[in-house]
Amino acid sequence: MEASLAALAPQLQLSRPGPLVPVLPALQGLLPEGGLRPGAVVSVTGGGTALLLALAVAATSAGTWCAAVGFDGLGLAAAAELGVDLGRLVVVEAARERWPEVALALADGFGLLLLRGGPPTGPLAERLATVARRSGCAVVVAGSWPGARVRLRVEARFWEGVGQGRGRLRARRVTVVAGGRGAAARELRVGLWLPDAQGAVRKIEQQPSAVSAGERHGSLVVV
What number of other Cβ atoms are within 10 A of residue 215's Cβ? 11
Taking a C-beta distance cutoff of 8 angstroms, is the pair 185, 207 a contact?
Answer: no
* Predicted pLDDT of residue 55: 96
d(CA 14, CA 27): 25
* Predicted pLDDT of residue 135: 93
Q: φ and ψ at 72, to 5 degrees?
A: -80, 125
Please state whether beta strands 188-193 and 166-180 pair in parallel, antiparallel, or not at all (unpaired): antiparallel
Taking a C-beta distance cutoff of 8 angstroms, is the pair 93, 70 a contact?
Answer: no
Q: What is the dihedral of CA 165, 166, 172, 174, to 10 degrees?
A: 10
d(CA 71, CA 73): 6
* Predicted pLDDT of residue 14: 38
pLDDT along the chain (223 residues), means of 10: 45 52 95 93 89 96 94 87 94 81 92 89 89 94 91 82 53 90 86 86 67 34 32
* Predicted pLDDT of residue 2: 43
How far CA 82 is from CA of 27, 52, 95, 148, 197, in Å, comes to: 13, 11, 28, 25, 11
* Predicted pLDDT of residue 85: 97
Give me the amino acid identity at 130. T
How far CA 153 is from CA of 52, 171, 216, in Å, comes to: 11, 19, 27
3-state secondary structure 38-71: CCCEEEEECCCCHHHHHHHHHHHHCCCCEEEECC
Give me the amino acid identity at 118. G
Please state whether beta strands 35-36 and 21-22 pair in parallel, antiparallel, or not at all (unpaired): antiparallel
* Predicted pLDDT of residue 136: 94
What number of other Cβ atoms are within 10 A of residue 100's Cβ? 18
Alpha helices in 49-153 (DSSP H): 50-61, 76-82, 99-107, 122-135
Degrees (nearest 5) of the Cα angle 83, 117, 19? 50
